[in-house]
Amino acid sequence: MELSFSTNAFKKNTLHEAISAIADIGYTGVELMEDLHHAYPPTFDAAKRAAAKQLLRDKHLTVSNINAFTLFVCGDTYHPTWIEDDPAKVELRIKHTLASIEMAAEFGVRTVSLQPGGPMIGTALTRQQAGERFATGLSRVLPKARELGVILGIEPEPGLFIETAAEYLEFKADFFAHDDSIKMNCDIGHLFCVGDDPAEVIRLYPEQVCHVHLEDIGANRVHQHLTPGKGAIDFGKVFGALHDVGYDGRVTVELYPYETTAAGVARLAWEHLQALGG
């Protein structure tokens, strides 16, 4: 199994520095953060893209996933979301996702990971209303994803509209039951936080997993990303499940809170996961 690392841990570094550090550690892939820090589509112009592609070739790296979850350039970790009351803010999210899909196709990437709707706290929406809004937004970007052969990976996350594997499956069944362009970005730590068994989810629904994010989580299941080996997740069990179901996608370590020590935690994660067969 080939391991990748997300550039979203390197927010204090340039994209060139992030790619170089990730490659030098031994990872074979890199996830691109589609935000102001690295590969925000409107400012990641043709020259910058060409330079990034050349560096990737020089370092023998491939791009594992396009991470379109955050949009700090015009909001925060979650906003603008897919379920805002303000249509103009939803339009920003849709426009960003379309650009990220095009970026994925340009860099030869098969997946774009997305936030699962947005936070429910602070809204007056019912789950049905939130689901309808999210589905309406996704329907706006799906034609482009289908055209370019890109899969949209909805990433369940604690505190957002879709938190669990069951909620993802319910949403998929309600709105996109037969659409293979929408699947799950299976974040191991997030599933652990909400009480799911990540390995069991992989074994039960392998056809839904288009990409995997890895981070450790403490035994208290609080949503705080930890370096693999510092928490309670059994990654050997997770890797065993991925192997048994014949998963052929990419696995990306995502440690975005460690922006001041990104290279160090990337190396620690590499060493720990390699020892487990990652």
Question: Per-residue pLDDT tens for 108-156?
Answer: 999 999 999 999 998 999 999 999 999 999 999 999 999 999 999 999 9
The H or E element containing residue 32 is strand 29-33
Rounded to the nearest 10 degrees, what angle do helices 127-148 and 87-106 cross at?
A: 30
Distance of CA 42 to the CA centre of its chain: 20
Residue 37 is predicted with a pLDDT of 86
Res 277: pLDDT:
73
pLDDT in tens, 180-230: 999 999 999 999 999 999 999 999 999 999 999 999 999 999 999 999 999
The owner of tokens 């074979």 is 28
Residues linked to residue 6 through DSSP beta bridges, in sequence order: 31
d(CA 180, CA 207): 9
pTM over 0.85: yes
**Beta carbons of 168 and 156 less than 8 angstroms apart:** yes
